[in-house]
Amino acid sequence: MISFNYESDFILDQEPVYASWIETIILSENKTVGEISYVFCDDEYLHNINMQYLNHDTLTDIISFDYTEGDIISGDIFVSIERVKDNAIDFKVSFEEELKRVLAHGVLHYCGYKDKTNADTTLMRTKENEKIKLFHVEL
């Protein structure tokens, strides 16, 4: 099950569409959907988590806590909406596009993809772009 939680003023429009898309990402990697909780927050909230749990004194767009067991994908994904907005400007993409990239990025980590080396980062970006193309809104 995919759930969305809010520690900021941001509210995700069309939650069921995003939940279905995230499930599709997981299934497309031949994994099973477990319990995934997204928490949308601001920089301060995520910075506190970064300091408390990871001892990193930096701002970041996403922190994920992976509870995956075998092929059952589960975890908590914290997303700073402020970082997503700034990154969208920096990367010259829409906020929606950058948000999708970050949402996909979190579950791709749970599916086994890394981003520590240049080669890993290149593969992660390829996978993010591939998964963003799976997003469809029924009109």
Per-residue model confidence (pLDDT) at position 138: 56
Query: What's the average model confidence in pLDDT over 3-10?
Result: 97
C-alpha 22: how far from chain center: 9
- In angstroms, the CA 50 to CA 61 distance is 11
Per-residue model confidence (pLDDT) at position 113: 97
- Whether the CA torsion 112, 43, 59, 49 is positive or negative: it is negative
Query: What's the average model confidence in pLDDT over 72-96?
Result: 98
Mean pLDDT value across the chain: 96
- The 10 Å Cβ neighbour count of residue 71 is 13
Per-residue model confidence (pLDDT) at position 139: 44
pTM reported for the whole predicted model: 0.94
- In angstroms, the CA 48 to CA 130 distance is 32
Span 33-67, pLDDT tens digits:
999 999 999 999 999 999 999 999 999 999 999 99
- The 10 Å Cβ neighbour count of residue 118 is 8
C-alpha dihedral over 132, 15, 20, 46, to 10 degrees? Answer: 60
- In angstroms, the CA 62 to CA 95 distance is 15
Q: How confident is the model at residue 16 (pLDDT cuts 50, 70, 90)?
A: very high
Per-residue model confidence (pLDDT) at position 136: 81
